[in-house]
Amino acid sequence: MRTRVLVPLTAVTVVLAISLSASVRAAGQAAGQDYDREAAREAAREAAPHSGDQAQAYWEDEVARRTAEAISRVYDPSRPLPANPPRTPWGDPDISGYFVTQSYTPLERSESVTKPLYTPEEAILAFKATIEADSKVDPADVHYDWKEFGMDAWQSPITPNLRTALIVDPSDGRQPPITAEARKRRADAAARARILDPQTSVSTFPSTYTRCAIGNGQVPMLRGGNPDAAGGLGSAGGVTAEKQIFQAPGYVLIQNQSNNDMRIIPLSGSEISDSINFWEGVSRGHWEGNTLVIETAHFRDRGPSNFPFGATENMTLVERISYLDEKTLRYEYTVTDPNTWTRPWSVETPLPRIDPPLFEFACHEQNYGLINLVMGAQITATENGQIPSGN
């Protein structure tokens, strides 16, 4: 077996080569001869514990080993689900645990990518490029300090993905066209934002998330790649992207780390009254083989809305959660909202397991952050002439 002490011996090799070179030089000068550089180099080669070919082979072995390790972590969507996953004491497939609901795979396929799947090597390169973008931070920017304290997404078990986009239907990996109603709705919102930043008024602050009424990323559990530049409306997963799935006989509970929102999902198949509406909708679940299917509807827009992807309260969501292996769940969902898109669309992604517990999410620390944010927005609007000075 080839020894694995090449790096320490390299220093010894250099010292021996220098010593031998000096000896050869001195001997040649003492004999009145010109210094023979090639003889010195040959003496160094003979003294070296490893040849150049051995060093090259060692490097190639290391590259192959590290590449194989990286490829083994790449998510392969064609991998079949196990026929006999672990089960709870009452017989349901066991999907409980703690999971990170974040991805470096963009929600929508980039226009520069023309295929649905990468090769494993391409997936690793794409993963690396996105992580490099996410890891950069300008100390002059106001930001959370998770990058300095080991809490950023690239420091988590997020895995490379063969998929070039999370959207699997439509086949082009992009959201379907939006309706005329949705275009008008978004245009009106953009026009209002151009007139006056909504952050300048507490009463019109932009969403229920920033007002700490509800958390972010509860339904669906994963909305796309990070950072924002990864592409697509609603692509960012947010700074709080961890969840706990808890199972009990007849129920599944999903706790959202953001604002500690809790989804209580009965598995009884009971009907939902049309008079019941909630911000995060009403969910009912059932098992189809070893896959948990969750149907969520009856959303309520109490405004300002936190609906994902610019949807409306008429949205319905069907989620599918399956055990893939001891470290991973497979998560799929289909979004339907005829007020926003011309057809339904679907996502599929892995959910990597993380160690417990969920860290506390403290929203605005008694809303002091909200006060400062509104004051800053008002100062900026005043400087830009949007708000008369003195108001």
* Residue 240, pLDDT score: 65
Torsion of Cα atoms, 61 then 62 then 65 then 66, to 10°? -150
Which is more confidently placed, 92 or 132? 92
Q: Is the pLDDT at 268 greater than 50, yes or no?
A: yes
Q: What is the pLDDT of residues 59-109, one digit of tens each?
A: 888 888 877 887 888 999 999 999 999 999 999 999 999 998 888 899 999
Q: Which of 362, 364, 377, 350 has its CA nearest to residue 166?
A: 350
* Residue 194, pLDDT score: 67
Which is more confidently placed, 200 or 106? 106
* Residue 81, pLDDT score: 97
- DSSP characters over 213-273: SS-SS-SSS---BSSGGG-STT----S--EEEEEEETTEEEEEESGGG-EEEEESS-----
Count the alpha carbons within 13 Å of 73 in the hemisphere toward its beta carbon. 12
The dihedral built from the CA positions of residue 122, 123, 126 and 131, taken in this order, carries a sign that is negative
* Residue 302, pLDDT score: 62
Average pLDDT over every residue of 191-216: 63
Q: Is the pLDDT at 198 greater than 90, yes or no?
A: no
Average pLDDT over every residue of 103-117: 92
Cα distances (Å, whole numbers) of residue 243 to 63, 155, 257, 351: 35, 17, 6, 10
User: Are the beta carbons of 16 and 44 closer than 8 angstroms?
Assistant: yes
Average pLDDT over every residue of 3-30: 46
Q: Is 115 helix (H, G, I), strand (E, B) or coil?
A: coil
Q: What is the pLDDT of residues 133-170, one digit of tens each?
A: 777 766 665 555 555 555 566 667 888 999 999 999 99
What percentage of residues in the chain have a pLDDT greater than 70? 70
User: Are the beta carbons of 231 and 225 closer than 8 angstroms?
Assistant: yes
Q: Is the pLDDT at 32 greater than 60, yes or no?
A: no
Distance CA 274, CA 235 (A): 31
Distance CA 15, CA 127 (A): 41
Distance CA 154, CA 303 (A): 33
Distance CA 149, CA 7 (A): 32
Average pLDDT over every residue of 343-349: 97
| Amino acid letter for position 67 | T
Confidence of residue 382 (pLDDT cuts 50, 70, 90): confident
Distance CA 102, CA 353 (A): 11
